């Protein structure tokens, strides 16, 4: 494990010896389905105005960023596959960062395809190039989920929160992907009521025109949600689920495409979970290893180094032993509070 500094003094951790089960921001997540979430990096160059995880250079809550060694990540992904008895249909490269920023993302895709039927990746698109798309296609990538919220250049820069963002570049690389490779594209804009209502219409019209969704659904409109620790769009309100479904059902009737994910069968099913290590309320002995992902957190591991545990309510990141009580273990993501 190596550390350096990035973006206003944040710790950048190169992870090659920490367990990769147990943390929401990096590693391998199992939510009890036949999809594995594989999170290779937390780095993100954008500063999106609605970001639910406060990512990017101007984050106010992040204490550390993580980039996972490719071989180490793949070892843990294989372990997760075995612990789920091989009941995995897809590895999804997603996360609290921008997956294409990982320097070996194409090799990660290629080796995941060696034991998982299909591999998909989420991105906002600007970090893609034609050359990278070609490498991803050669590696076996099945699908790109591209989050494009508007085709208007000015609004796109405002929504991504960075002046250098050019949605025209994203349009070009998406069209190249559809035209020149077998990587499928799903366009996944976020609907923010009163902000990009008609922009969503434009994204759907563009996607239909270029032919997204050859093997998988071409669209996956997302609902804007104002998360407690994320960013909130100035002057915008979070729609109810009823409003959201009314909106996308109207678009379905207008364009004759399926947008409601409840109507889409991607082959996702419940599947055996990776066994939990700790129960809620259990008192455990842990080893603090380094500063946490967010302020007021530390990264700790169990004595057998099977899982990472997030210690909350701490300001001391000195390596040491602590006794703590587990307060959360949902989906194998462990959070604990020190008893000291």
* Beta pairing, strands 118-123 & 283-291: unpaired
DSSP assignment letter at 194? T
Residue 66, pLDDT score: 97
Q: Pull the structure tokens for residue 183.
A: 């990587």
Instruction: Name residue, tokens 């367990």.
Output: 19
Residue 292, pLDDT score: 96
Residue 275, pLDDT score: 95
Q: Which residues of 213-231 are buried (b: 16+ CB within 10 A; e: fewer)?
A: beebbbbbbbbbeeeeeeb
* Residue (of 78, 61, 79, 71) closest to 25 by Cα position: 61
Instruction: Mark out the alpha helices in 47-194 (DSSP H runs).
Output: 70-83, 105-112, 130-139, 153-160, 167-180
> What confidence tens digit (pLDDT) does each residue in 113-127 have?
999 999 999 999 999
Q: Which domains does the chain have, with CATH numbers?
A: 2-263 (3.20.20.70), 283-338 (2.40.50)
Digit-by-digit pLDDT tens for the chain (340 residues) are 788 888 878 999 999 999 999 999 999 999 999 999 999 999 999 999 999 999 999 999 999 999 999 999 999 999 999 999 999 999 999 999 999 999 999 999 999 999 999 999 999 999 999 999 999 999 999 999 999 999 999 999 999 999 999 999 999 999 999 999 999 999 999 999 999 999 999 999 999 999 999 999 999 999 999 888 789 998 898 999 999 999 999 999 999 999 988 888 888 999 999 999 999 999 999 999 999 999 999 999 999 999 999 999 999 999 999 999 999 999 999 999 999 7
Residue 264, pLDDT score: 82
């Amino acid at each position: 494990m190596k550390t350096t500094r990035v973006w206003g003094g944040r710790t950048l951790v190169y992870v090659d010896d920490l367990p990769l089960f147990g943390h929401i921001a990096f590693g391998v997540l199992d939510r009890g389905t036949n999809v594995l979430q594989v999170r290779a990096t937390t780095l993100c160059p954008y500063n999106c105005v609605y970001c639910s995880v406060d990512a990017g250079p101007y984050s106010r809550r992040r204490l550390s960023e993580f980039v996972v060694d490719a071989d180490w990540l793949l070892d843990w992904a294989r372990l997760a596959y075995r612990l789920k008895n091989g009941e995995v249909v897809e590895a999804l490269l997603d996360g609290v960062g921008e997956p294409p920023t990982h320097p070996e993302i194409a090799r990660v895709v290629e080796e995941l395809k060696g034991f998982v039927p299909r591999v998909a990746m989420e991105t906002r698109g600007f970090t893609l190039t034609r050359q990278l798309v070609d490498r991803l296609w050669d590696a076996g990538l099945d699908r790109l989920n591209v989050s494009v919220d508007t085709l208007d250049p000015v609004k796109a820069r405002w929504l991504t929160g960075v002046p250098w963002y050019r949605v025209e570049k994203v349009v070009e690389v998406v069209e190249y992907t559809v035209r020149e490779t077998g990587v499928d594209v799903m366009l996944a804009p976020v609907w923010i009521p009163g902000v990009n209502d008609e922009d969503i219409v434009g994204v759907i019209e563009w996607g239909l025109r270029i032919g997204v969704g050859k093997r998988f659904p071409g669209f996956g409109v997302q609902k804007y949600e104002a998360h407690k620790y994320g960013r909130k769009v100035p002057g915008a309100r979070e729609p109810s689920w009823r409003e959201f479904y009314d909106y996308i059902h109207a678009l379905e009737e207008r364009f004759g495409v399926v947008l409601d994910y409840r109507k889409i069968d991607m082959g996702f099913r419940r599947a055996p979970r990776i066994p939990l290590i700790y129960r809620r309320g259990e008192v455990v002995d842990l080893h603090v290893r380094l500063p946490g992902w967010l302020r007021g957190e530390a990264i700790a591991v169990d004595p057998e180094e099977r899982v990472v545990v997030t210690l909350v309510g701490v300001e001391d990141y000195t390596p040491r032993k602590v006794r703590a009580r587990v307060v959360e273990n949902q989906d194998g993501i462990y959070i604990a509070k020190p008893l000291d």
